Structure 1
Amino acid sequence: MLAILGVTFPFFALVLCGYLAARREMLPLAAIPGLNSFVLYFALPAMLYRYSAQTPIAELLDTALLSVYLLVAAIMITLTILVTKRGRIGWNDAALGALVATFPNVGFMGVPMLVAILGEVAAGPIIVILAADMVVTSSVCIALSRLDGDAETAALPASARLRQALRKALRSVLGNPMAWSMVLGGVASATGFHLPQALDKTVALLGNAASPVALFTIGAVLARANMVSGQGRHAHAGWGSVWPVAVFKLVLHPLLAFGLGKVAQAAGLPLSDAVITVMTLAAALPSASNVSLLAERFGADTARIARIILFTTVAAFGSFALVAGWMTG
């Protein structure tokens, strides 16, 4: 346990630094989008490209892992909506609540931390998991969030609104540089392509900046989300709608990942213990911080989403270490 905390503490400490910097206005709120853009468009794509290019293509095309992980995501989305909706909230809040319960912070936090804990063996599975969440999980939840309709689509039937939302989600995925970096890295892995030395060193420098800047940015984004949400129409959202989703994220999600992974393994699917460990630890991560940005964009309850992300990030300092100690002990 102490050994795991020794690895994870610096990651959470950098998140705290970013949070305090934004809350104390050492980092202006107007500067946070710039940090986010650097991570999203430069540092993380460089890191993901390098990991993908250095991982055997067979590991990047692990259909057994992809199938089990997406089944876990489908169960998480369904259960979260069933438990939280019940006529009290609309599809927009229910679906984005399901996304924050299902989408772990793999990109900004999980990739560097799981590689630090497990070594390079974690790179391939974590890239598969990140791709699944970016392409499938987020697209499904965004599509479900549009079932309520808005002023422009209220006259359309639900099926038409769903198709329109799926098209928008697909365009968002196609415009995500992290997705393209993984695709290009996979092509490089399959073909044995290597970047010229000077360009490779440039990409390596950007990739090395990804972890500290991304973690600092998570904290700043969380601080901004809580400060902004506290001023909006959802400012008085209660904590009663937060803790069930947070418990689903930190407890149910890793339990489902581990349990279904073991069931699939026993059924004959080619899932190794190492892959199940990566999937379980990924599910034990806190909620992805970018869901707060989606909540703002789609007019959901930003206070609720921001509080879930903040709660899971703080609680994961202990809960993730417990799961990691159990899985690696």
Structure 2
Amino acid sequence: MKYEVIIYWSDEDQAFIAEVPELPGCAADGETYQEAVQNVEIIMQQWIETAQEIGRSVPQPKGRLRIKDMSLVELLNPKENEHILDLGCGDGKRTTKIAIKEKAARVVGIDHSESFSDEWDKARRAYGDLEFHGDLEFHVMDAASLNFNEEFDAVFSNHVIHHIKTPKEVISSVWNALKPGGRFVAEFYGHGTAEEIILALQQVMSSENYSFDINEDFPWYLPTQEEYCNLLTSQRFTVIVNKIFPKKLDLEYGVDIRSWLEQIPFNTEMFNHINKEAIFKNVQKKVSDQLFRNDKWFVNYQHIRIVARKSSQLSNNN
């Protein structure tokens, strides 16, 4: 069979795990690498035979998929009747799409802002009109202090984690929200994002006799791969995927580096005694040779994607 098989060692399970991403729920383990491969081949055959018997379509093998070419929902690989938490759901459109397309038993979206309440009401009504049996919920909640205890098969987060500067608390909250065996799938900005702009900002602030520390004064949390992986393993997660890849984002016509900086939620007190507009103008001048091409400004981002699993043998009481 030509389906992609992902094999990794799990310290928590003390076994090799083999998963088939294109066949939802198809996985096996083994004491050795070879045993895991042999076992998953049997499970794959059984999966296909069962699907054919009950009239369910069998996905055609796509061959090897590169992590960066998959959508984050594909990486999540949600399954029917799962309970899924969307961490930082925004307007709730993606949350609702997962609930409808994947027919999950329960999909919960949380966000720290109440500003999306009208959009959430629209999503609930649209979902209710479809007469699905699953539950769709939205709550205003802090990602670092979730009020869930082993309720979800998966926690999903798309470009939110870099906005939260308490990563240990977020990871701990995610762990508590997951059932044993549950998975955490996320994408966020990492170390090296907007590097040219941040360096120029430090230089311009220094020239004005003001200090600027990225960890203290820049509002985003931008970890390295290794740093975030260590935080996950410290919480006893098994890290399955940990990838970083660059993306160049062209800014919209009329948007320059100054206006990009204006959108960043800096601590306003930092600019109380200096001319912020002049600072941003000088930053743009410094990076123009690097970030202006063909009459367009762009920003370089580093995207981190992670998939981590909570051991099926561990609960919040262990």
Q: Could you say which TM-score interval applies, normalised by the shorter chain?
A: under 0.3
Superposition TM-score, scaled by structure 1 size? 0.26
Larger radius of gyration: 2
RCO higher in 1 or 2 (8 Å CA, sep ≥ 6)? 1
Q: Which has the higher strand share?
A: 2
Identify, as 1 or 2, the structure richer in helix.
Answer: 1
Q: TM-score, normalised by structure 2?
A: 0.26
